[in-house]
Structure 1
């Protein structure tokens, strides 16, 4: 059997064990070059590909060849001569500090609103910039979607560049890192360029690392990149919508590295923060808006800051177009007509999981009873129904036994405030979030 046909059959054989993504990414452009003296030489388009196949899939390839030829083979992965590894000196200066750092200049510490829900993350980020946080690496910031972690990671990069323009700072989204990595495996020059781009930096900022989940090859490469930067005393800042230990299908080595620095979470902004965010956003429009109008929006819209700013933009756009004042009545009309978010979880699950966590029944949490052992679970359920299901205050009140708007708002604000000072409550909320969201994955 010719080597070309045998290798084609080998890859077909591997389809039963390996995913199509792995085969398309790492086995594309490989070929079986020779079978001689018990050795099977597989030629790869780049050193990244050869190294990865050797570490991760050598046993599977050896077994496939044995099954097809009924012989044992010592498999060797080599780089083709036309794609031989390139020395770093031959690449020239790949890193262009100001132009290609990926930073968005409008995201700064000056326009980042700080309050109890994000105070710790903001303080650690600031100390890292000031130099007091040199030992903080990695800094891992996690929060729900739209709560400002991307703003904060860009603010870190922009502040460092402002203090020292010579610092090599690079921001990249995890998806972009993955896409560039996949392209790099096709030839050695691309691989060398890729590695130098991400390793020849003083600080690497990586956004949305939960995107690495289930992507074994990308995780392997990022692990090596992270280690090289860490051992060189460089700094790494990461963001995610989950705590490292909650990201499913993330390599345990990466989880360990991510948790080895400082892990800081950012909670949903409380009413005071939301009001301040709206005031600053209104100032950008150079439009006078009464505080009671802004407060109406701040009290009704929780969760994503983008949703909050979007409602204000809609209010001011209507007011400007129609030449009317942005009044509280107009704000209430906008809130009434706002489309409700699609829910990927059942609100009933939030109540059921919360009840089970505190050892009470769903009937008890909805009841009119006010025993201490029922009040706290009820407050937590209200908070989570707002945070996860994004229900209105009146909807939450209905689900919790017909309670009024004011009672629900008080419950949510109480939990928002207490979790900043009560680590036990904070951990309970984190665990509950994971259990509830796990039902929707």
Structure 2
């Protein structure tokens, strides 16, 4: 389900009742329900019912079917005479998502706007592909402004950059609600800047981002490129915070030097701290992510189903999560067992379609996997690592294409006996070498093999 766009104003009394309701559910140990409940917001109290905002009718029906009893029994305990819930479809993200996971009191501070409590270090799966950025983010959260300032995390879409950004903000705020955490995207920063200029509120804008900010978290900073006036304002904001040892964490899809239209002075400042990248998750990491998310969703996910999904969704953690949410929702509605066949049917519109593969595409994927060049695979170099990659490419070419041994040999500038030898060697080792089997399984998944 896609996130809603902006927060809605809620009745103060409704917001407080909803906060106590969620906190009671959390204290009762029923955190599995919060994955769904925290996506709703408290809108109003009407005719003895707490009115909750929901993103769509499907979500409303699912929550009502599974959690109405829990909601109303909990509400009766904390809701000042309220014992009933009602729903209203809205088009904005729930402000109640921003409520703290700490005990609710009259003086309890509200979670900083836009921060989601779902994204924490506890729910982030650490692996080789993201170990450094995760550790750096944790260090920043532990001592804001003292480590890796600024921290600049870059990588492809859906790999967990935004998750880490929220995790930093959440941990800092949960440890010290007095810390003024500001989280937004560079697009939102630009929009606020433009509106402030148009409405002559620049003093207020600068106070918010400079004087009243202890931690600045900016998502998708690459969109700041080519916006000269916004860049100028951000440059002075950055300098002010940096000079005061205020923590700055930025995410991007690329390194500063490759952001089109970004001023050199910003490039240099973004690189003053730590630049670290998140890479595509490995097969094992994808399985671990699915298992951890399934546990959080309260879904019993068999190992073979986790492996099936991980095999077909390879590059994007967000797509993995989306697949799991859909699987969980349809399972809950249909009550059908979660099997590979069930997953294949439910996720048929999400899973990538099988595409034909040829020797050249196998060479490209193998070269990328083993971090060598395609040209090197075709050369007569006998370096051990390169020879291994070449033999794997030959084996996959024979297994996944209809090419003959002589045809494959011609693509590698070898004779066909060399290809035959390589294929037989890899076939034999696949049965005894667990590491090689894992490599082959992952490569075949990337290439769409079955």
TM-score range, shorter chain: 0.5 to 0.7
In 2: Cα distance, 1:169 partner to 1:256 partner = 24
| Pairing 1:143-182 to 2, within 5 Å after superposition | 143-182=155-194
Cα distance change on mapping 1:350 and 1:195 into 2, 3 Å? farther
CA-CA distance at 1:256 after TM superposition? 0.5
In the TM superposition, what are the counterparts of 1:193-208 in structure 2 within 5 Å? 193-200=204-211, 201-208=213-220
> Displacement, 1:317?
3.2
Q: Identify if the C-alpha distance between structure 1 residues 235 and 378 changes in structure 2 by more than 3 Å, giving closer, same or farther.
A: farther
CA distance in 2, matches of 1:123, 1:372: 30
Match of 2:318 among 279, 303, 306: 306
| 1:66-81 matched pairs, under 5 angstroms | none
CA distance in 2, matches of 1:132, 1:196: 20
Q: For residue 211 of structure 1, what is the aligned residue in structure 2?
A: 223
Alignment correspondent of 2:58: none
Q: Which residue of 2 aligns with 1:266?
A: 278
Secondary structure of 1:117 counterpart: coil
**Residue 6 of structure 1: aligned partner:** none
Partner residue in 2 for 1:285:
297
Alpha carbons 1:147, 1:266 under 8 Å: kept: yes
Counterpart position of 1:186: 198
Give the SS at the match of 1:206: strand
- Is the 2:151–2:249 Cα contact (8 Å) retained in structure 1? yes
Q: C-alpha distance in 1, partners of 2:115/2:184?
A: 9
Corresponding residue for residue 261 of structure 2: 249
Evaluate the alpha carbon distance shift between residue 166 and residue 336 of structure 1 in structure 2; reply closer, same or farther with a 3 A threshold.
Answer: closer
Structure 2 counterpart of 1:331: 343
Contact preservation (8 Å) 1:97, 1:168: no
Describe the SS at the equivalent of 1:185. Answer: helix
Check whether the contact 2:193–2:230 (CA below 8 A) recurs between aligned residues.
yes
CA separation of 1:360/1:177 partners in 2, compared to 1, >3 Å: closer, same or farther? closer
Root-mean-square deviation over aligned CA pairs:
4.1
Q: 2:367, 2:389 within 8 Å by CA — same for their partners in 1? A: no
Q: 3-state DSSP class of the match of 2:133?
A: helix
CA contact (8 A) 2:111 2:173 kept: no
Residue in structure 2 matched with residue 226 of structure 1 by the alignment: 238
How far off its partner does 1:145 sit? 0.4
TM-aligned CA deviation for residue 262 of structure 1 = 0.7
- Does structure 2 retain, via aligned residues, the 8 Å contact 1:170–1:203? yes
Q: Kindly tell me: are residues 322 and 241 of structure 1, through their superposed partners in 2, closer, same or farther at Cα, counting changes over 3 Å?
A: same
Gapped regions of structure 1 (runs ≥ 5):
1-95, 381-392, 415-441
Q: What CA distance in whole angstroms lies between the structure 2 residues aligned with 1:399 and 1:223? A: 57
For the residues of structure 1 that align with 2:184 and 2:122, how far apart are their CA atoms? 22
Q: How many residues align?
A: 301
How far did 1:173 drift?
Answer: 0.7
Q: Are the structure 2 counterparts of residues 348 and 249 from structure 1 closer, same or farther at C-alpha, using a change threshold of 3 Å?
A: farther
Give the structure-2-normalised TM-score: 0.57
Deviation at 1:281, TM superposition (A): 2.0
Give the structure-1-normalised TM-score.
0.58
CA distance in 2, matches of 1:198, 1:378: 56
Alignment partners' CA distance in 1, 2:232 and 2:350: 44
Per-residue deviation, residues 143-193 of structure 1 (Å, max 9, x unmatched)? 1100111111111011001111111111111000001111122254x1111
Q: CA offsets, 1:66-96, max 9 Å, x none?
A: xxxxxxxxxxxxxxxxxxxxxxxxxxxxxx9
Shift of the 288–349 alpha-carbon distance from structure 1 to 2, 3 Å rule, reads closer
1:232, 1:309 → 2: CA distance? 38
Unaligned runs of 5+ in 2: 1-107, 412-422, 431-435, 444-450
Query: 2:324 aligns to what SS in structure 1?
Result: helix
Q: How does 1:397-412 map to 2 (within 5 A)?
A: 398=401, 410=439
Partner of 1:317: 329
DSSP 3-state at the match of 2:198: coil
Deviation track 1:229-277 (CA, whole Å, cap 9, x = no partner) reads: 1112211110111111221221111111011101111111212221121
What is the CA deviation profile of residues 203-251 of structure 1, one whole-angstrom value per residue up to 9, with x for unaligned ones?
1111100111111111111111101111122111101111112212211
The separation in 2 between residues aligned to 1:195 and 1:398, in whole angstroms, is 61
Q: How far is 1:305 from its partner?
A: 1.0
